[in-house]
Structure 1
Amino acid sequence: MFFFKLFLLSFIPSTLSHDGFNSHLLPRPLIMQYPERIETRFEKSNEELELECTSWRFAVETNNLSPWKTIPEQCGSYVKDYVMGRGYKVDLERVSTEAGIYATSLQLSADGKDVWVFDVDETLLSNLPYYADHGYGLEIFNPVEFDKWVYRGVAPAIEPSLKLYEKVLNLGFKVFLLTGRSEKQRSITTENLTKAGFRSWDKLILRDSEDHDKPATVFKSEKRSKMVEEGYRILGNSGDQWSDLSGSFPSDRSFKLPNPMYYIP
């Protein structure tokens, strides 16, 4: 051991003891300096990816994201599994149940002016068959292709929404359908809704030619304004987009249905 210590001491350069010590003349400690961003060759684990996509969907539903055109590419399988699986159905049922509890708790006036407003697409009618052929939101929205789907008139009912729809009708609400669909699609929309089980609505409000360039929030706010001017009280509103529910003249209470496939401002 004594010999080993002497060996180490003799190995240290004599410049260490000099007052004019220059560290650049000696081997310096090896310090690994990482770049601020490190590209990894390893894909994220399934668990981590699911957490990120769940967080993204939460931000969508709480309206915390800026306007977006498509779902994140890495979340394609996640969104598909969600909307085609049990989770989406359970979420839809929860919204319908809570809305029904609220509707039942209200004492309606005798003048017939109490209104429940429903959006149509992804609120009453499901376009999942269309989005199944278009990446569940991975593709940029194509209005021409979507109109072709609309004119087929085969969109199925969202069952929990149909139950809520029938409940509010039986309670005595006036039912107004307020949709971003074009006035040109009135006939096929009426046919599709009726075929899917929706009947006895009081008004079906669509976009006229002067409304086509308006953002959905503006268009629907203006239509709700007109309802109020006519003396109606908007007690409930159901929609899958925040633009269905926000803006001026909102309902007393609104119910947001889940939709991670697309965003309408």
Structure 2
Amino acid sequence: MRRMKPLVNFVATLILMLAIACHGSEHGVNFNIFPLRMKTGSGGHYIPDVSCLSWRVGVEAHNIIDWKTVPQECEGYIGNYMLGDQYRADSKMVCAQAYLYAKTLNLTRDGRDIWVFDIDETALSNLPYYAHHGFGVEPFDRESFNEWVPLGIAPALPESLKLYNKLLSLGIKIVFLTGRPDHQREITAKNLKNVGYHTWKKLITKDPSYVGKTAVTYESAERKKLEEKGYRIIGNIGDQWSDILGTNTGNRTFKLPDPVYYIS
């Protein structure tokens, strides 16, 4: 279990609010991501680190690749970004552009036009997990993450959920393509439905035959299978470059922000 990070002083409040949201979901209330902002420094205002801002831009532009964890000196900056307003604003911009593109399409409405959604940090947010375990410094802890996923309480990324509903209204079918393994399929489906993703054409999880292969290889192969079955991938959105690189990526791809981890 990774240590609680001292810089996230208000995490207890966040966890409490999320616990309330989770309890509320039992009564039909969707989960939420609360736009909280970490504050530090004189006057209670967070002072951004210019070098860390440049690091984040380098990550999102794919100029920095194959990194394992957020640099120690940037953990506070990344935590502030993810829990603050800017992450939400950046996500909103991506999803707005995706919808503007979708509205320009001449759709056939034969049920073959699909939009591929990644799940983690795209459809669902693991922000509560990272708020508790930290936003960097130590390598990703797969064991603790695999304890978090079966809880099935990851909230929706609000901007992605809005895009999902708008795409459905246009007659576009949704396919979820995730790196989560097959044994997490049932809880993932339940989690998606609980937070508002009520329907989809397919939910593709990773079967054991892909163990040891890169995410690019796995996702390219699964997208190829979709196209071989006659589906047209008109859009593709994910938080990782591996979601939108490779083959059969679709007519247009969209990259959501994620400076917390990197998957090749």
Q: Give TM class, smaller chain.
A: 0.7 to 0.9
* 1:205-224 alignment runs, 5 A limit: 205-224=204-223
Alpha-carbon distance, 1:139 to partner: 2.2
Q: Who is 1:74 aligned against? A: 73
- What do you get for the CA RMSD once the two structures are aligned? 1.2
Normalising by structure 1, we get a TM-score of 0.80
Alpha-carbon distance, 1:251 to partner: 1.2
SS in 2 for 1:151: helix
Asked whether 1:91 is paired with 2:53, we answer: no
Q: Contact 2:66/2:262 (CA < 8 Å) preserved in 1?
A: yes
Taking the aligned partners of 1:101 and 1:249, their CA distance within structure 2 comes to 22
Alpha-carbon distance, 1:147 to partner: 0.7
CA-to-aligned-CA distance 1:176-230 (integer Å, 9 cap, x gap) = 0000000000110011111111111010000011112211010000001111111
Count of residue correspondences: 219
Normalising by structure 2, we get a TM-score of 0.81
Q: Please identify the structure whose Cα radius of gyration is greater.
A: 1
Give the ranges of 4+ consecutive aligned residues of structure 1 lying more than 2 Å apart after TM superposition: none
* 1:144-155 alignment runs, 5 A limit: 144-155=143-154
SS in 2 for 1:186: helix
Q: Who is 1:51 aligned against? A: 50
Name the % identity.
49
Taking the aligned partners of 1:54 and 1:261, their CA distance within structure 2 comes to 13
Give the letter aligned to residue 168 of structure 1: L
SS in 2 for 1:63: coil
Taking the aligned partners of 1:110 and 1:149, their CA distance within structure 2 comes to 38
Give the letter aligned to residue 134 of structure 2: G
Asked whether 1:169 is paired with 2:165, we answer: no
Give the letter aligned to residue 160 of structure 1: E
Alpha-carbon distance, 1:137 to partner: 2.6
CA-to-aligned-CA distance 1:218-259 (integer Å, 9 cap, x gap) = 000000111111111111001000000000111111110000
Taking the aligned partners of 1:69 and 1:151, their CA distance within structure 2 comes to 24
Taking the aligned partners of 2:185 and 2:65, their CA distance within structure 1 comes to 31
Q: Contact 2:109/2:171 (CA < 8 Å) preserved in 1?
A: no
Q: Contact 2:72/2:136 (CA < 8 Å) preserved in 1?
A: no
SS in 1 for 2:130: helix
* 1:54-65 alignment runs, 5 A limit: 54-65=53-64
Q: Which runs of 5+ in 1 are unaligned?
A: 1-45
Q: Who is 1:32 aligned against? A: none
CA-to-aligned-CA distance 1:144-179 (integer Å, 9 cap, x gap) = 110100001000000010000011111111110000
